[in-house]
């Protein structure tokens, strides 16, 4: 009555598929014990391949966006609002130009339209920079 029942070392899985899975697990475990260096090398190769895929092929281009224009400030600051709005518009345009330039640079092959777009984007970027510098010099 107080006799302990022996426990099964393997889990009891009923059916033919369960037995085959247990046999497959035993075979893989035996190969891992027999060739540990090969399994370590395969594991490291899988990790390296996963890292390369994660940082190159599977990467998505996330578009940078500027926050929307905030609400108008309280009364008394009305004189500075047009300058702030112009600066904000210039910042949005610069961000769009940077995205255009980055897209063109990221291409593998360039054609004539890409070089025209790049030249126009760089020219517009330079004009915006000159406008900002002239506004800073004229403001006390």
Is the residue at 73 inside a domain? Answer: no
- Give the chain's count of helices (H) and strands (E): 4, 0
What pTM was computed for the model? Answer: 0.38
pLDDT in tens, 3-18: 777 766 655 556 788 8
Instruction: Express the helix, strand and coil content of the chain in percent, nearest 5 each.
Output: 65, 0, 35
| Number of domains within the chain | 2
Please give the pLDDT value at position 82: 64
Is the residue at 92 inside a domain? Answer: yes
Please give the pLDDT value at position 134: 75
Is the residue at 102 inside a domain? Answer: yes
Looking up tokens 């800073």 gives: 136
Among 1-10, 16-25, 48-57, 97-106, the range scoring the smallest mean pLDDT is: 1-10
Q: Which domain holds residue 32?
A: 16-57
Give the residue-averaged pLDDT of 76-100: 73
């Amino acid at each position: 009555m107080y006799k302990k029942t022996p426990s099964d070392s393997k889990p009891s899985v009923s059916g033919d598929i369960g037995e085959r899975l247990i046999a497959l697990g035993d075979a893989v475990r035996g190969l891992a014990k027999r060739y540990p260096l090969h399994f370590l090398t395969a594991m490291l190769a899988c990790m390296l391949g996963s890292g390369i895929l994660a940082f190159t092929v599977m990467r998505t281009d996330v578009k940078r966006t500027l926050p929307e224009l905030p609400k108008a400030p309280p009364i008394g600051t009305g004189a500075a609002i047009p300058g702030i709005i112009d600066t904000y518009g210039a910042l949005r345009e610069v961000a769009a130009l940077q995205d255009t330039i980055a897209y063109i640079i990221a291409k593998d092959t360039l054609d004539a339209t890409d070089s025209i777009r790049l030249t126009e984007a760089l020219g517009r970027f330079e004009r915006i920079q000159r406008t900002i510098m002239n506004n800073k010099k004229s403001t006390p």
